[in-house]
Amino acid sequence: MESKRRVTIREVAERAGVSMATASRALSGNHPVPAATRARVLRAARDLDYVANAHARALVGGGRKMAAVVVRQVTSPFYAQVAEGVEAEAADRGWLCVVGATGGDPQREMEFVQLMREEGARLVILVGGVVEDDAYRERVTHYAQALDATGARLVLCGRPAPDPDIPALVVEFDNEAGARAITGHLLSAGHRRIVFLGGLPGNTALDARVAGYRAALAEHGLPAEAAHVVDCGLGRAAGLRAMAELLKETREFTAVFAGDDMVAAGALRAIADAGLTVPDDMSVVGYNDIPLAEDFNPPLTTVRTPAEELGRAAVRIALRDPEHAAGSHHLLGTHIVVRRSVGAPPEGSH
């Protein structure tokens, strides 16, 4: 058990026959040290398999920069991609990246942010839509101020800042525009009775998509009553269940706009189970263009939200010109990718 101690710089210094200070300087290379001594120190470090103690280093100020991404779950393809983007951009800059999963629980989110404060993270990125209630506003305001008080940055990805004046930065997709565009795509194909499947009242991301959907309907001269949104929330299981129920109740629609691709996956399955075929009997579109959306049956027409780029942008923007960034709001564009899940409405459906 004597051996369970890490090799310290003191041992390296002794072996190299120099002082700790010199060893430190040789190792970090930020201070001139004669090549010969330097080599001796490096050699000793290698022989001993020395690794610096990051905590000691952090304590004295020269610590490694750390970024944290917080998502609901890493197994969601969309969140995974965002996390990968953050990870990649952080790695490019030599930063360490920690990812935390909350399962959607505000409590766990708070604990994780707290933890990151303790660990001295310089950048905390919260990802994903939320219901924007008072509790949310209070929580985020607190995060922002606490983080800012120590010079750390907070970025909100796909969720709103409670107040434009708090020291946080938001980066998100233009959900309303994306939803408007894909609804327009359905409308252009001739559909008039389109249901939006996957509403989540209060959730900022979904509300924006619903708004875009309504706007597109209105632009095409449809009355407000033409909108039909089913608030089943997100996830494959929710989409499957809601779609199945809807098909039992009514067939008074020819297309479905799913809140995201996972909902679309569930809807597709429910439609097939009902003996209908897509797109002949029913058209379906999704949102996010996750990898594998093209492997659905049929390949899914959806709106592409470059998730990895969202992650990269979050760190890039936060780290560039920090003073100016605070309070700023960045909107990333999206576009439709057309595959095979949209067709003309079936004959006689009007």
Residues that bind its own copies (CB under 8 A): 3-6, 49, 51-59, 63-64, 73-75, 77, 80-81, 83-84, 87-88, 91, 96-101, 108, 114-115, 117-120, 142, 146, 149-151, 236, 265, 268-269, 291-292, 294-298, 308
Rounded Cα distance between 286 and 185, Å, is 12
For DNA, the closer CB: 59 or 292: 59
Question: Token match 């990812």: residue?
Answer: 99
Q: Does residue 9 contact residue 56 with C-beta atoms inside 8 Å?
A: no
For DNA, the closer CB: 62 or 104: 62
For its own copies, the closer CB: 142 or 220: 142
Query: Binds 84, which of its own copies, DNA, none (CB < 5 to 8 A, cut-off by type)?
Result: its own copies
Which of the ranges 10-18, 163-171, 277-285, 328-336 carries the binding residues for DNA, by CB under 7 A? 10-18
For DNA, the closer CB: 19 or 297: 19
Q: Is 267 exposed, middle or buried (0-12, 13-18, 19+ CB in 10 A)?
A: buried
Q: How far is the CB of 3 from its own copies (least distance, A)?
A: 6
Structural tokens at position 230: 């089913």
Rounded Cα distance between 162 and 327, Å, is 11
Which of the ranges 50-58, 189-197, 212-220, 298-306 carries the binding residues for DNA, by CB under 7 A? 50-58
Query: Binds 77, which of DNA, its own copies, none (CB < 5 to 8 A, cut-off by type)?
Result: its own copies
Q: How far is the CB of 318 from DNA (least distance, A)?
A: 24
**CA 105, 111, 115, 121 torsion-angle sign:** positive
Beta strands in the chain (DSSP E): 66-71, 96-101, 123-127, 153-157, 169-173, 194-197, 228-230, 255-258, 283-285, 302-304, 329-332, 335-337
For its own copies, the closer CB: 293 or 317: 293
Contacts 24+ apart (CB under 8 A), 280-284: 280/343, 280/346, 281/346, 282/254, 282/255, 282/256, 282/346, 283/186, 283/189, 283/191, 283/254, 283/255, 283/256, 283/341, 283/342, 283/343, 283/345, 284/255, 284/256, 284/258, 284/341, 284/342
Q: Considering only residues 14, 37, 148, 236, which one is a binding residue for DNA as defined by CB under 7 A?
A: 37
Q: Does residue 233 contact residue 104 with C-beta atoms inside 8 Å?
A: no
39 binds DNA (CB under 7 A): no
91 binds DNA (CB under 7 A): no
For DNA, the closer CB: 39 or 272: 39
Number of residues that bind DNA (CB under 7 A): 30
Query: Binds 298, which of DNA, its own copies, none (CB < 5 to 8 A, cut-off by type)?
Result: its own copies
27 binds DNA (CB under 7 A): yes
For DNA, the closer CB: 48 or 332: 48
Q: How far is the CB of 152 from DNA (least distance, A)?
A: 15
Q: Considering only residues 44, 52, 270, 315, which one is a binding residue for DNA as defined by CB under 7 A?
A: 52
Count of beta carbons in the 10 Å neighbourhood of residue 85: 24
For its own copies, the closer CB: 144 or 210: 144
Read out DSSP for 322-348? Answer: HHHHTT-EEEE--EEE--SS--PPPTT
Q: How far is the CB of 143 from DNA (least distance, A)?
A: 19
**CA 203, 209, 213, 215 torsion-angle sign:** positive
Q: How far is the CB of 237 from its own copies (least distance, A)?
A: 11
21 binds DNA (CB under 7 A): yes
> Can you state the angle between helices 134-149 and 106-119, rounded to 10 degrees?
0
Q: Which residue ranges make up the site for DNA (CB under 7 A)?
A: 5-6, 8-10, 17-22, 24-25, 27-28, 30-34, 37, 50, 52-53, 56-57, 59-62
